[in-house]
Amino acid sequence: MPFSARSGELPTPWTLTGGPQPLLQGYVDGKAWRFTLERDGTERSLIVAISRHALDLSERGETPVETRAAIATDGRSEAARVAQLDEVASCVAIGRAGYLRAWPGLARVAQM
């Protein structure tokens, strides 16, 4: 369940307060951006990463709509999607066929 509501209340979504800040290419084989999300005085970092292969295929329209949207918005579309969840991920990785398991070390980069 993506949301946790208390006593019938709707959860408060996170607010994007920073980003996209490009990450150095040494962290991913593709492109990645850092975002800051805030809710009730708590801040979280989010990394949105897109594989090089997905970047190459997106130019020909051979990737899912979500992947193309993330590329076109420098990750903002995915950061906005994650901001609607109660518990946000520290990293979202996107490949040629959609979502991937995050590359090792990216979650640590989000904490830096």
pLDDT digit string (tens) for 26-48? 767 899 999 999 999 999 999 99
pLDDT at residue number 70: 94
Model confidence pLDDT, tens digit, residues 41-75 = 999 999 999 999 999 888 777 889 999 999 999 99
Give the residue among 62, 63, 27 at the shortest CA–CA distance from 48.
27
Domain count, the chain: 1
Residue 105 lies in a domain: yes
CB atoms within 10 A of CB 101: 8
Give the residue among 103, 90, 105 at the shortest CA–CA distance from 34.
90
Residue 96 lies in a domain: yes
Residue 2 lies in a domain: no
Question: H-helix or E-strand containing 92?
Answer: strand 91-95
Residue 5 lies in a domain: no
What are the residues facing 22 on neighbouring strands?
Answer: 33
Model confidence pLDDT, tens digit, residues 5-22 = 455 566 678 999 999 999
Residue 48 lies in a domain: yes
Residue 59 lies in a domain: yes
Residue 6 lies in a domain: no
Q: Is the pTM of this model over 0.85?
A: no
Q: Which domain holds residue 70?
A: 15-111
Residue 89 lies in a domain: yes
